[in-house]
Amino acid sequence: LHQSDSNIKAGDEMVVYLVGAGPGDPELITLKAVKALEMADVVIYDRLANEEILKHAPHAKLIYVGKKAGEHYKSQDEINQILLKEAKNNDTVVRLKGGDPFVFGRGGEEVLALKEENISIEMIPGVTSAIGVPTTIGLPVTHRAVATSFTVVTGHEDPTKKEKQVKWDYTADTVVVLMGIGQIEENTREMMKYRDPETPACVIESGTMPEERIVMGTLGDIAKKDIKSPALLVVGNVVNVFKEMTSKELFY
Q: Which residues between 172 and 211 bind a copy of itself (CB under 8 A)?
A: 172-173, 208-210
First-residue to last-residue Cα distance in the chain: 46
Taking the C-alpha atoms of residue 124 and residue 108, their distance in angstroms, rounded to an integer, is: 13
Taking the C-alpha atoms of residue 176 and residue 213, their distance in angstroms, rounded to an integer, is: 17
Taking the C-alpha atoms of residue 154 and residue 178, their distance in angstroms, rounded to an integer, is: 5
Q: In the 3-class helix/strand/coil scheme, how is 160-228 assigned residue by residue?
A: CCCCCCCCCCCCCCEEEEECCHHHHHHHHHHHCCCCCCCCEEEEEECCCCCCCEEEEEECCCHHHCCCC
Q: Supply the minimum distance, in Å, between the C-beta of residue 50 and a copy of itself.
A: 11
Of 6 and 89, nearer to a copy of itself (C-beta) is 6
Binding of residue 37 to a copy of itself (CB under 8 A): no
Contact 202, 214 (CB under 8 A): yes
Binding of residue 215 to a copy of itself (CB under 8 A): no
Count residues near a copy of itself (CB under 8 A): 83
Touching a copy of itself, residues 47-76 (CB under 8 A): none
Taking the C-alpha atoms of residue 196 and residue 202, their distance in angstroms, rounded to an integer, is: 15
Q: Supply the minimum distance, in Å, between the C-beta of residue 9 and a copy of itself.
A: 13
Of 70 and 249, nearer to a copy of itself (C-beta) is 249
Identify whether 216 is a catalytic site residue: no
Touching a copy of itself, residues 127-146 (CB under 8 A): 127-128, 131-145
* Among positions 103, 181, 184, 227, the unique one binding a copy of itself when judged by CB under 8 A: 103
Of 31 and 69, nearer to a copy of itself (C-beta) is 31
Identify whether 67 is a catalytic site residue: yes
Identify whether 46 is a catalytic site residue: yes
Q: How far from the centroid of its chain's Cα atoms is residue 105's Cα? A: 7
Q: Supply the minimum distance, in Å, between the C-beta of residue 201 and a copy of itself.
A: 17
Catalytic residues, which ones? 46, 67, 179
